[in-house]
Structure 1
Amino acid sequence: MNCITESVAKDRGANSSAGEPDHLNFPEPRSNRFARLRGDTLGYVFVITAVLLFSAQDSLSNYLGERYHPIFITMIRFWVFAAFVLFLAFRSPGGVKLLSKTAYPFLQITRGVLLPTEIAIFVFGLAHVGLVFTQAIFQSTPVIVTVLSLLFLGECVGLRRWIAVVGGQFGVLQQNPIRDP
């Protein structure tokens, strides 16, 4: 079987099993804050919140990117992020020491260098190219990741995923503000 038929067979097998498929079983909330929200509603709340927060963050980065150096903006973002992570780490069982252990220190250090570099480049792009073009380039990452996963990881990418990636890329291409009316 090739990648596409394996993916389709796996999807059909998951949908035809007794009961609900695994991806529809939601864990129970830990606290009573979200006890009234179940399943899809809680997911919608989190997605809308994430979209609003990332939109506000990108708009603020665009505004600050015109006034301050991208490295300074990235530094401030990571200070705030580090404070938030440390707060959560100190509250967790085992504390910071347990959460900082890793079996792959080289990969974690590489990731720690690449993420601020990517954010600094993004802020630099916001300041010099604008929000629309920077987002258009940034939103093309699913295509890049999908192609690279085929080449480097030997991933099996099914037809549905390719359709989703191409459809998403078509939406990204619609953001071009220089189109003739």
Structure 2
Amino acid sequence: MNPQVGIVLGSDSDLPLMKDAVKLFDKMGISYELTISSAHRAPEKTATYARTAEDRGLKVIIAAAGLAAHLPGVIAAHTILPVIGVPVKSGALDGVDALYSIAQMPPGIPVASVAINGAKNAAILAVQILATADEALANKLRQLKEDLAREVEAKDARLKELGVEGYLYPIGHETNK
């Protein structure tokens, strides 16, 4: 099966961050490909990747980038596929520069952006895009949302049962000794 999602890393140092996206795709049964490329250090590779993505069967691309974060924009410039940028927390501005770079694309070259280090939300957004044409996937996404709501309810019940101190500092925690 051809991959549906392309995950492009500006560097191998982005891989630990993107593991949350990979985990979600595995859980949802979505095929993906991982690629390391760079808008600056490998501009031809990046442009070729983007230009050939649609022919390879990709439906959406997630690109992680720090600092100036040109990678998602360069990819978006060379494809009609939706591109989701994940700003990486790095550098002197802790990812704010990457967030602004991704969000401030020029007219005609849109890139969706998620929060700094928001790989999981990038994956969920990619699934939402894919689910518009796949009812089985839409049902899996509905289940995921229901699971998230149940997690909130369980946390709320635990807080009501234990109170603030018991919730934050379980028995055996050094604060409760």
Tell me the TM-score range normalised by the shorter chain.
under 0.3
Say which one has the larger Rg.
1
Q: TM-score, normalised by structure 1?
A: 0.25
Q: Of Structure 1 and Structure 2, which has the larger fraction of its residues in helix?
A: 1
Structure ranking higher on relative contact order (CA contacts 8 Å, 6+ apart): 1
